[in-house]
Amino acid sequence: MELESIKKIYAGYSNVYDVIFKGFFYPRIKHAIHSMGIAAGDKILDVGVGTGLSLPLFPRSCKVIGIDLSGAMLKKARQKVKKLNLDHIELLEMDAMNLHFPDNAFDKVFISHVVSVVPDPYRMMSEVKRVCKKGGRIVIVNHFKSKNKVMAGMEKIFNPVSKRIGWRSDLCLDEFIKKAHLKVDKKYKLKKIDLWHVIFATNNK
Other C-beta atoms within 10 Å of 60: how many?
A: 13
Query: What is the per-residue pLDDT across 88-107, written as a single tens digit (0 to 9) for each?
Result: 999 999 999 999 999 999 99
Query: What is the per-residue pLDDT across 17-46, written as a single tens digit (0 to 9) for each?
Result: 666 667 678 899 999 999 999 999 999 999
Q: Which domains does the chain have, with CATH numbers?
A: 3-202 (3.40.50.150)
Q: Pinpoint the alpha helices (H) of the chain.
A: 3-13, 17-34, 71-84, 121-131, 149-164, 173-179
